[in-house]
């Protein structure tokens, strides 16, 4: 495998083809990526279909979960996150050179997992009579990928441990609302995603610390500093403390989040 193979998957626009490419890369030997040199190219826009239209988050319409269309809109929003997460996993494996082999194996596994999540959600969308692209979406995940493309430590801190970890916080509430609406099929998919996102966030934790400590940086204080510097302190609570603890957030980090939640 060569970084160009990962870049080709990253730039693939068709969702089905991207999912297949992510699986194939995960099944391949990632060792050559650890030995690869060269300079990655910038990816201001990854491969994605023409739709959905990307709009400011404030312009996304709000729909209740009491109607099939409202539930489809929620499924679409999560499918969009999972599609972006495929690209984020691929970009991590492509962009950051000179990391240990396990780094590349981890992020290609994440990309393959996210591809499976996307396919589950896309099939569920079809059950409601919709497809990916039928609702507007936002580009926040990839915008943060661009902002952190210059430093693997910052990427590991802010994408998996903040933006993807947000799913650990909000998914339980979505599951409960879907259960109340009687949508057990979607509940089952969301439960799979929630369970599998915990190790994805843990991968971010592990590699963030791997990068911070050789620089003489304390991971706990560095994490909160980066939150302030890049994200105005990060998303507000409530936080899923048991899931974040399982994803190896440290007790000082959890104490900091608990204090932030109380403000």
- What Cα–Cα distance (Å) separates residue 220 from each residue in 27, 70, 138, 201? 34, 39, 30, 16
**52, 136 contact by CB (below 8 A):** yes
Among 249, 32, 16, 33, residue whose Cα is nearest residue 131: 16
User: Alpha-carbon distance 13 to 130, whole Å?
Assistant: 19
pLDDT at 29: 92
pLDDT at 162: 92
What phi and psi values does residue 209 have, to the nearest 5 degrees?
A: -70, -35
Ranges of residues in the chain with a pLDDT under 50 are none
- The fold of the 3-32+59-262 domain, in CATH, is Ferritin (1.20.1260)
How does DSSP assign 111-174, residue by residue?
Answer: HHHHHHHHHHHHHHHHHTT--TTSS-B--HHHHHHHHTTT-HHHHHHHIIIIIIHHHHHHHHHH
User: Distance of alpha carbon 81 from its chain centroid, rounded?
Assistant: 7
- Beta partners for 254? none
For residue range 3-59, what is the model confidence (pLDDT) as tens digits?
999 999 999 999 999 999 999 999 999 999 999 988 899 999 999 999 998 888 777
pLDDT at 198: 96
User: Alpha-carbon distance 187 to 124, whole Å?
Assistant: 11
User: Alpha-carbon distance 98 to 35, whole Å?
Assistant: 7
Among 12, 40, 44, 39, residue whose Cα is nearest residue 25: 12
pLDDT at 152: 96
The total of other beta-carbon atoms located within 10 Å of residue 15's CB is 21
- Total residue count of the chain as it appears in this document: 263
Domain ranges of the chain: 3-32+59-262
| pTM summary value | 0.93
pLDDT at 67: 81
Output the CA torsion sign for 257, 258, 262, 263.
negative
- Beta partners for 10? none
Burial class (CB in 10 A: 0-12, 13-18, 19+), 36: middle
pLDDT at 181: 87
């Amino acid at each position: 495998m060569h970084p160009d193979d990962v870049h080709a998957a990253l730039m693939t626009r068709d969702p089905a083809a991207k999912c297949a490419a992510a699986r194939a890369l995960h099944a391949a030997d990632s060792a050559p990526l650890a030995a690869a040199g060269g300079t990655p190219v910038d990816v201001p826009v990854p491969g994605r279909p023409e739709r959905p239209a990307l709009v400011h988050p404030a312009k996304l319409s709000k729909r209740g979960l009491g109607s099939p269309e409202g539930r489809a809109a929620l499924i679409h929003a999560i499918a969009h996150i999972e599609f972006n997460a495929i690209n984020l996993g691929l970009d991590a494996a492509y962009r950051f050179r000179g990391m240990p082999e396990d780094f590349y194996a981890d992020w290609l596994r994440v990309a393959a997992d996210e591809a499976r999540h996307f396919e589950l959600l896309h099939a569920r969308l079809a059950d409601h009579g919709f497809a990916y692209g039928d609702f507007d979406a936002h580009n926040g995940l990839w915008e943060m990928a661009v902002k952190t493309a210059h430093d693997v430590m910052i990427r590991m801190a802010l994408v998996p441990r903040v933006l993807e970890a947000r799913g650990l916080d909000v998914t339980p509430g979505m599951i409960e609302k879907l259960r109340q609406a009687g949508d057990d099929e979607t509940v089952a998919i969301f439960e799979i995603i929630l369970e599998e996102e915990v190790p994805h966030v843990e991968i971010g934790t592990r590699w963030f610390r791997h990068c911070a400590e050789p620089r003489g940086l304390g991971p706990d204080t560095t994490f909160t500093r980066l939150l302030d510097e890049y994200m105005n302190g990060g998303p507000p609570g409530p936080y899923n403390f048991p899931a974040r603890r399982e994803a190896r957030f440290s007790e000082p980090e959890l104490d900091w989040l608990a204090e932030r939640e109380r403000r």
